[in-house]
Every structure is written in C-alpha cells, then in structure tokens.
Amino acid sequence: MTIDQASSTLLDSIRDLGYRVTGTRRQVALAMERRSEGFSAEEISSDLPQVGRATVYRALKLFQNAGVICKLALPNGAPRYAIATGGRHHHHSVCVRCGTVTEFRDSTVERVVRTLSTEIEGEMVGHRIEFFVTCPACLSAVALPKSQIN
C-alpha cells in the first residue's frame, strides 16, 4: 500500500475536524498502522527519525482528539496507544510483558457502568477500564525456558 492510499480512516478523521492532512501526518498514520498491536509515542518517533519528536506528540494528540486512537496506560502508568478499530465504545486489555493491546467489547460491562452511574454520587462523566494480561505469545515465551530446564 502506498502512502497515499493508506490510513484513509485515520486521515479522514482529522480532515473532518478541519485540520490539514500533511505528509508528516500521513507518515505518522502509516507508522501507527504498522504497529497495530499498540505503540508508545517513543516507538512511533523512532520509526520516523526524519519526523521531529514534538510533531509526533502533536499528531498523536490530534488523532486522539479525533477519537481514532486510544491512549491507555500500563500498570506503572507508562502511556500506550492503540488504534480504535470499531467506532463503538470499547475497552482494552494490555499485555504487561510486550505491550500488545487488544480491544474488546462486553455488553455486561456497559450495563454495569450504566447501573453504577446511578449509584455513585455525583454526575458520572467518564470511566477507565483496562485489563492487564500476559498474552498467549508471552505466556509461551516464558513457558519455554522452564521446559528447557527439565
């Protein structure tokens, strides 16, 4: 895929907000798509050495405001980003070992959130729900060394 046809959804999202679609933003969009498992600002920045670090941060914030990428956090608070694939509301699980992000939707979660918003004092304005896992790939990666000992 060429840089021109790539990331149409991502680029459209900022175009729709009235921002310009520039070569740099195309590159950032493409870099994000190449790291579909999730990424940090630092990773995108090092994928694009020709793009200024500050510009990467500015672009990430832009895409985030446009709602096409989500910013989440590892247990230690380190930020991690992921492209939002569905348009709908969803949550994520993050592998604490490799940082891979998986999107999931669960109607039960939504129902609980709705119920709680009536039970918790004040006006609910948002929530953060993240699950931390060791993903299948990392599980087998740690399992191998053990089996090698035996």
Partner DNA sequence: GTTGCTGCAAATCCTTTGCAAGGTT
Partner DNA sequence: AACCTTGCAAAGGATTTGCAGCAAC
Buried b (16+ CB within 10 A) or exposed e, 65-95: ebebbbebeeeeeeebbbbbeeeeebbbbbb
Contact at 8 Å (CB) between 45 and 56?
yes
Q: Quick one: 12 or 136, whose CB is closer to its own copies?
A: 136
Site string for DNA, 48-67 (x = CB under 7 A): --xxxxxx-xxx-x------
- Residues of this chain that interact with its own copies (CB under 8 A) are 71, 73, 75, 77, 79, 93, 95-96, 102, 104, 106, 108-109, 112-113, 115-117, 119-136, 138-139
* Residue found by looking up tokens 């599980």 in the block: 139
Measured CA to CA, the distance from residue 48 to residue 86 in angstroms comes to 26
Tell whether residue 23 is a contact of DNA (CB under 7 A).
yes
Measured CA to CA, the distance from residue 13 to residue 17 in angstroms comes to 7
- Give least dist CB 118 to DNA, A: 32
54 binds, among its own copies, DNA, none (CB under 5 to 8 A by kind): DNA
57 binds, among its own copies, DNA, none (CB under 5 to 8 A by kind): DNA
Token output for 115: 């119920």
Measured CA to CA, the distance from residue 101 to residue 39 in angstroms comes to 8
Q: Quick one: 3 or 139, whose CB is closer to its own copies?
A: 139
Tell whether residue 128 is a contact of DNA (CB under 7 A).
no
Tell whether residue 96 is a contact of DNA (CB under 7 A).
no
